Amino acid sequence: MRPVPQHRGHPPRNRRSKSCTGCCSKCQLFVSYLLVIVGILFLALAIWLYIFRGDLIPLIQSHFYINCICLAVGCGIFNVIIGFLVHSAVSNRCALVFYLLLLIVSMILEGCLIYFTFSYHATYIQELDVSLPNDILNNYNTDPTIAKAVNFLQKDAKCCGSNAFNDWPKPEVEDHYLPYAKTIVQRVQYVPDSCCKSTHQRKGCALSDSPNNIFYRGCLPFLKEEVYNNLNFLFTVTAASLFLHFANLIFGCCACFRTDDDEDENPFKDYDQEMHLFD
């Protein structure tokens, strides 16, 4: 075996600095991979809230809720981009600086998302207590978007009305053509067909308000719980992502101050280049 030749003209490498730099780069890689997973989770949550549960959005009057969904999309996109740029950042100082700038921008977006979720969390109960009864009484028959949202809510939650089925106004029809002009209350459908318990809700199925035919419990508790769970999930994912961003920022700053001897340090390299010296 030939002795390992020494490179002339270069000072001995500081092994402690090299070890610290390599550790920071590997931790940065690991955290970035976690950010990709969190970014995909952000995007999946936004798709779920906007596409699969989007029919409930017209019943939520505040713009905080829709802003939270839009910010979740932005945070998810930034997290995925940051995760894929880490390969260039660990081997190039200029790319690392750009990588750290993206981290800061993403942290600002996630800070705004935490602010919106926290702010709306304090007011959504009072808002829904007012908005849902008003939509049922005043906007259901005039606004097709509200009507579609209310019908979706009643079918999905298996409920009727805001607090109970009798929140829907019940009209009384007088027939003055009978002898002595007696007042007769006719059977009139006053609740939507979406209140029916039947899985096949045919037109006019809610004509009878019997408890065997329609749901009696209101939809307001279900809507409150839906918004509460969505806000909590958004807040939890954002807080976890913000923690990973902070850790990634620390590791990135440590790697940014590496020495010139560590500039060619790349955790993706194998040791083939060094092993040929032993041939």
Percent of the chain scored above 90 by pLDDT? 52
Q: What is the pTM of this model?
A: 0.78
CA distances to 22, 139, 249 from 11, rounded to whole Å, are 19, 79, 30
User: Residue 103 above 70 pLDDT?
Assistant: yes
Cβ proximity of 262 and 21 under 8 Å:
yes
Residues written for the chain: 279
User: Residue 213 above 50 pLDDT?
Assistant: yes
Following CA atoms 101, 247, 240, 59 in sequence, which dihedral angle do they give, to the nearest 10 degrees? -20
pLDDT in tens, 245-259: 999 988 888 877 654
User: Residue 223 above 70 pLDDT?
Assistant: yes
User: Residue 3 above 60 pLDDT?
Assistant: no
pLDDT in tens, 20-49: 566 777 888 899 999 999 999 999 999 999
pLDDT in tens, 134-150: 999 999 999 999 999 99
Q: Which tops the pLDDT comparison, 238 or 175?
A: 238
CA-closest candidate to residue 114, choices 200, 216, 234? 234
Residue 2 has what pLDDT?
A: 54
Q: Which residue ranges make up each domain of the chain?
A: 28-143+227-260
Q: How far apart are the first and last CA of the chain?
A: 7
- The phi, psi pair for 122, rounded to 5°, reads -85, -15
Mean pLDDT of the chain: 82
The string of DSSP letters for 176-245 reads: TTSGGG---------S-GGGBSSSS--TTTTSS--TTTB--B-SHHHHHHHHHHHHHHHHHHHHHHHHHH
Nearest-5° Cα angle at 206, 125 to 149: 35
CA-closest candidate to residue 185, choices 171, 166, 197? 171
Residue 5 has what pLDDT?
A: 53
CA-closest candidate to residue 25, choices 93, 103, 101, 108? 93
Helices 93-121 and 220-256 cross at an angle (nearest 10°) of 160
- The phi, psi pair for 213, rounded to 5°, reads -110, -40
Which two structure tokens, joined as six digits, stand for 90? 């660990």
Least confident range of 76-85, 124-133, 165-174: 165-174
